[in-house]
């Protein structure tokens, strides 16, 4: 199952969106995967939160791109222009 | 339910805390529902300093809400600069996979995050504990029984 998923993401890299995939521990560490991801846009992450599988100017665009990349139920977030310690 | 904080990147470390190259944030995954429509899971910041729950306007548009026809109020402190117009609508928030709460939430174009879970709507429905004694810090939430 895992191998199939990895294969899927590799295929996606060539076909649609360049997917950043990194190893993460179970502690919700998104710093590595988000550091290199696009800014000032909506991002869609895969269910394991190990890869950006979609982006867009709107949440809808990011979700559609994730769906096109084979991720049916992505987790979406808004990436700021600059990652800061405060949210405002 | 206990959940580790989420580690986010930091582009410019705080000048007083130069060794901190990432920021731990208390975050939960929520879906927002309105009129039988539902968003995908959204990464939401749990913020006891926020008086209300807020969502980026685009979340409302995704749900088919005519955002600017909501109850208008100008709110400062959630965006940079002058107070921004926020439009309040009744929505359901599906918290992680466990709970649903009905909330009057504000939708704002200039919100820098997708969602903020604040006092009215979230903290009055959940007991929330922020535990920074462990590494990573842990967020614990429990539904308040007498509201269910």
Residue B52 covered by a domain: yes
Q: Give the C-alpha separation, A39 to B9, whole Å.
A: 12
Which residues share a beta bridge with B6? B25
Total residues belonging to chain B: 148
Joined together, the tokens standing for residue A88 give 């405002």
Which residues share a beta bridge with B142? B127
The single residue listed with the structure tokens 């949440």 is: A59
Question: Is B11 near chain A, with CB under 8 Å?
Answer: yes
Decide if B10 and A84 are in contact by the 8 Å CB cutoff.
Answer: yes
Number of domains making up chain B: 1
Range of the domain at B56: 2-6+25-143
- Residue B114: φ, ψ to 5°: -70, -35
Decide if A85 and B80 are in contact by the 8 Å CB cutoff.
Answer: no
Residue B80 covered by a domain: yes
Distance (Å) from the alpha carbon of B86 to chain A's nearest alpha carbon: 15
Residue B15 covered by a domain: no
Percentage of the residues of chain B whose pLDDT score is greater than 90: 78
Residue B11 covered by a domain: no
**How do residues B116-139 score in pLDDT, each as one tens digit?**
999 999 999 999 999 999 989 999
CATH number, domain of B79, equals 2.40.70.10
- pLDDT computed for residue B146 by the predictor: 63
Residue B42 covered by a domain: yes
The torsion of the CA quartet A44, A49, A51, A55, rounded to 10 degrees, works out to: 10
**How do residues B81-106 score in pLDDT, each as one tens digit?**
778 899 999 999 999 987 999 999 99
Residue B16 covered by a domain: no
- pLDDT computed for residue A88 by the predictor: 67
Distance (Å) from the alpha carbon of A24 to chain B's nearest alpha carbon: 11
Contact criterion met (CB below 8 Å) for B33 and B92: yes
Q: Give the C-alpha separation, B116 to A23, whole Å.
A: 28
The pTM of the full predicted model, rounded to 2 decimals, is 0.86
Residue B14 covered by a domain: no
Question: Is B138 near chain A, with CB under 8 Å?
Answer: no
CB count within 10 Å of CB A79 equals 22
- pLDDT computed for residue B18 by the predictor: 85
- pLDDT computed for residue B114 by the predictor: 96
């Amino acid at each position: 199952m895992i191998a199939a998923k990895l294969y899927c993401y590799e295929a996606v890299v060539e076909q649609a969106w360049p997917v950043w995939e990194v190893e993460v521990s179970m502690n919700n560490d998104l710093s590595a995967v988000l550091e290199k991801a696009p800014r000032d846009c909506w991002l869609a992450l895969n269910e394991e939160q190990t890869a950006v599988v979609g982006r867009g100017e709107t949440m809808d665009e990011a979700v559609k791109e994730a769906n096109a990349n084979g991720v049916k139920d992505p987790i979406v977030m808004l990436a700021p222009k600059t990652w800061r310690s405060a949210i405002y | 339910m206990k959940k580790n904080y989420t580690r986010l990147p930091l582009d410019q470390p705080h000048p007083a805390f130069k060794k901190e190259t990432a920021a731990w944030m208390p975050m939960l995954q929520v879906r927002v529902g309105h009129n039988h429509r539902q968003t995908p899971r959204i990464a939401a910041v749990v913020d006891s300093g926020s008086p209300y729950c807020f969502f980026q306007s685009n979340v409302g548009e995704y749900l088919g809400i005519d955002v600017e026809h909501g109850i208008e109020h100008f709110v400062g402190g959630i965006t940079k600069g002058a107070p921004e117009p926020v439009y309040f609508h009744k929505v359901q928030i599906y918290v992680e996979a466990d709970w649903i709460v009905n909330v009057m939430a504000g939708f704002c174009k200039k919100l820098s995050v997708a969602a903020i879970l604040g006092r009215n709507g979230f903290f009055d429905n959940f007991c929330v504990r922020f535990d920074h004694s462990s590494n990573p810090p842990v967020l614990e939430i429990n539904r308040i029984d007498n509201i269910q």
